[in-house]
Each structure stands twice: as structure tokens, then as C-alpha cells.
Amino acid sequence: MKTIYPKDLPVPEFHALLQGSVAPRPIAFASTIDSEGNVNLSPFSFFNLFSTNPPILVFSPSRRVRDNTTKHTLENVHEVPEVVIHVVHYGMVEQMSLASTEYPKGVDEFVKAGFTAVPSSQVKPPRIKEARVSMECKVNEVKSLGDTGGAGNLVICEVLCVHVDEDILDEKGIIDPNKLDLVARLGGNWYSRTNGSCLFEIPKPLRTLGIGVDQIPEDIRNSAILTGNNLGRLGNVESLPSEEEIEKFGEKPEIQEMRVRFQNDPASWADHLHLLAKETLEEGDVEKAWLILLQKP
């Protein structure tokens, strides 16, 4: 394991190290306007949601590493403390990238990137018609984190209203991540796409008190087959199956066949149980996985 301290590397290299490590990052595609009415549109991947009540988003237009200059977006929010933050879906990622070009002040990135500007309802900057989610915000505060190249500027935004494309909602009115098809930023020129096989669900342990990995029987906890993720899922149950349930499950033909096959080979019996449980966990059936793992030879 290599240990690196910020002073060990030139700022551009440490910047790249952080961007490659803290990823993927959501992208704030920010529309702003200056005091003379010039519109700017620029993406920022130092961005996230920090509060729901009040609804607060924060993004950071950092000072440029190479020459310590500031971006038009930062200048604009000081002049007109309003912004529209759009999330970026795959169908607009190339145009979004083009809008990150450092055009001179006064050049409209809506036009350069081929987006349609439509009026916002609560703020002066326009919003992108092609975006699937747009959040009109007032800027509550801009907090500088330094005055050298690479220093961030936290733009703390309060959401006034949200525009959502109804086509991305499921039958319950909740955003479907497959339909939204978000794009996130990694290091260098790399992006990721949240769609298809890249998406997976993990039950949140909010309403249950999981037994924890420490309460998993030692032979299972020290398995050479089960991964840390497998153990985490196993430890998220409130209780283990009853002896009656375990015994009844053990009557299944596939378990009986394994019991006969490995009656003189306890190590292989355990390995095959763990392999079967691993497959079952990856199919999402935690209860069945526990019934498999707790079988006796």
C-alpha cells in the first residue's frame, strides 16, 4: 500500500489522484447569468445533495489548477445569486462535455452545445429543455476554500422548484434510474453510466436490526468462498432460521444428494454449501442462503 501526502505531489497530480479516487461523482450542469444578462452553462462534478429540509445542493467551481483563474459560473453567482442545476443523462453527455469548453465571457454555451434554453419560473437563468430534471435555486452563500489554484468555492444553493420529465417516472411516480440514465464523472476523460446491469439494489437496514457479521457462525464468517459483500448481506437479517425450518429445508432432494455425495468429505460438503449459498445470495434470496449454510452433514 503506497501512502501519499498532499505535499508529495505537484497540485495537478494530486488533483488527478483525488478525482480518480472519489468517483463516480454526480454532475451539476449549472446555468447562470451575469449582471448584464450574459448566460453561462457549465458542468461541475464537485457536487451533491446535502439537505432535504431545507433542500440544499452544493457544487464547487474550483479555481483553475494551471493558472489560478476563476470560472465564469463563480463570477456570475456573485453577481446574480441564482442558478439552475440540471442532472446529466446519457443522451446529452457529449453536448454537456462540449459546454465545458472555456469559451470567452459572453459566449452562450446553450448555443454552442446545441441546447434549447427555456425560461425558468423562479430565477433569471434559463433552463435546458432537453434535461430530464432541472432544479431552480437561489444561492444562499458562496464559501471560498482558498485563494490558490485548485481551491474550491462552495456554492450553497436552496432549491426553489424542480422540473421533472414525467417519462422517467415509474407507475408509483418515483424516478426510475433506468429511465433517467444518469451519467457520472470519474478521473481523466472517464465517465460512468447508471443503467442496465450497472444498477443493483441493497436493502437498507433502517427498519431492521441486523445481527451483524460478528454474530455469523465462525465457520461461515471465515469462509474462503463467501465475500465481504456476502457476509454483509447475511448479517443484515434480524434472526437466523429456526431449527425446524433448517431441518425441513434439509429434506430437499438437492440437499439430500449433496449429503450423500460428501458423506466422507466434510471439507467438500462445506465448500459446496458455501458455493450454493453464494449463488443464492447473488440472486437476492438471503433467507434461502441461510437455510443452505446452516445444514449439517
d(CA 30, CA 91): 17
d(CA 10, CA 8): 7
Q: Which residue has the cell 439537505?
A: 51
In this prediction, residue 251 carries a pLDDT of: 94
In this prediction, residue 197 carries a pLDDT of: 86
d(CA 212, CA 224): 19
Angle of CA points 60, 61, 65, to nearest 5°? 120
Distance in angstroms between the alpha carbons of the first and the last residue of the chain: 41
In this prediction, residue 216 carries a pLDDT of: 95
The angle, 0 to 180 degrees and rounded to 10, between the axes of the packed helices 266-282 and 253-261 is 150
In this prediction, residue 23 carries a pLDDT of: 92
Closest Cα partner for 93 from 193, 199, 196, 197? 193
The full 3-state SS of 41-57, as one line of letters, equals EEEECCEEEEEECCEEE
> pLDDT tens digits for the chain (297 residues)?
999 999 999 999 999 999 999 999 999 999 999 999 999 999 999 999 999 999 999 999 998 888 888 899 999 999 999 999 999 999 999 999 999 988 888 899 999 999 999 999 999 999 999 999 999 999 999 999 999 988 999 999 999 999 999 999 999 999 999 999 999 999 999 999 999 888 888 877 767 789 999 999 999 999 999 999 999 999 999 999 999 999 999 999 999 999 999 999 999 999 999 999 999 998 989 999 999 999 999
Closest Cα partner for 169 from 180, 184, 183, 181? 180
In this prediction, residue 150 carries a pLDDT of: 87
Task: Specify the pTM.
Answer: 0.83
In this prediction, residue 117 carries a pLDDT of: 97
* Alpha carbon 16 to chain centroid, angstroms: 19
Strands (E), 60-145: 82-86, 117-118, 127-128, 133-144
* Alpha carbon 236 to chain centroid, angstroms: 22
Per the DSSP assignment, residues forming a β-bridge with 31 are 41, 84
